[in-house]
Amino acid sequence: MKDNLEHTFKELENQFDIEEPSIGHFNRFEAKLNSKPTSKKSFKLFSYAAVAASIILMVGVWMGASFSNKGMELAGISSEMEETQSYFITTIQKELSTIENERNTTTEQLINDALLQINKLENQYQLLTLELKESSEDRRIIYAMISNFQQRIDILQSLLIQIETIKQLKTQNNENYI
């Protein structure tokens, strides 16, 4: 191995670039190192990816609530429960679209955390639909399903309040600087 390496260097001996760089090269190189790179392309790509992921999540929540074929939905119990389910789904979708319009770099983490909580509640709801399918007369399951919808709405409303607070703080800070 050592012989191969020495042999390779001997073959390349006169091919190395040993010329001095032009005057000012080191200063230009140091200036490039010290400058902060602005990667607007990666930020734009990240923001588009975040919006796309949120839209996919919203469609998933909507499809999960509307077209679940594994369990039994509230709508399958009675017309009143169908109205209740429809109300909750419509409200959740409206809140999600409002939140998506408020998405920016400051609110990104808050929104993503809230959507993770919503996703967990959606998974719990899917389990409740399976339980409801097994015993459609158990009121505890029906109450748990309604409570699940209410918890999702509470999370979304709390998120909107937090976003509004952030916007007010930014406005106050900006007014103080003027």
Is there a contact between 113 and 52 (Cβ–Cβ < 8 Å)? no
pTM of the model: 0.57
Same-domain check for residues 53 and 30: no
Statement to judge: residues 118 and 70 lie in one domain = yes
9 and 46 inside one domain: no
Instruction: Report how far residue 134's alpha carbon sits from residue 128's, in angstroms, rounded to the nearest whole number.
Output: 10
* Spatial distance between the Cα atoms of 153 and 114, rounded to a whole number of angstroms: 11
Do 77 and 163 reside in the same domain of the chain?
yes
Tokens read off for 124: 């719990």
Domains held by the chain: number: 2
Judge if 24 and 86 occupy the same domain. no
39 vs 33: CA distance, rounded Å: 15
C-alpha angle 88-168-152 in degrees, rounded to nearest 5? 15
Asked if residue 85 and residue 165 are part of one domain, the reply reads yes
Same domain, yes or no: 28 and 84 = no
Q: Both 153 and 109 in a single domain?
A: yes
Q: Note down pLDDT in tens along the chain; length 178 residues.
A: 667 778 887 777 777 666 777 788 778 878 887 876 655 555 566 677 677 777 777 767 666 655 545 677 877 777 888 888 889 999 999 998 898 888 888 888 888 899 999 999 999 999 988 888 888 778 898 899 999 999 999 999 999 999 999 888 887 776 665 5
Distance of alpha carbon 90 from alpha carbon 88, whole angstroms: 5
Range of the domain at 106: 40-177
The span from the CA of 64 to the CA of 87, in Å, is 15
The two tokens of residue 172 are 């106050």
Q: In this structure, are 121 and 172 located in the same domain?
A: yes
Whether residues 98 and 129 share a domain: the answer is yes
Kindly state whether residues 19 and 52 are assigned to the same domain.
no
- The neighbour count for residue 150, using CB atoms within 10 Å, is 13
Q: Do 113 and 47 reside in the same domain of the chain? A: yes
CA gap 63, 30 in Å, rounded: 55
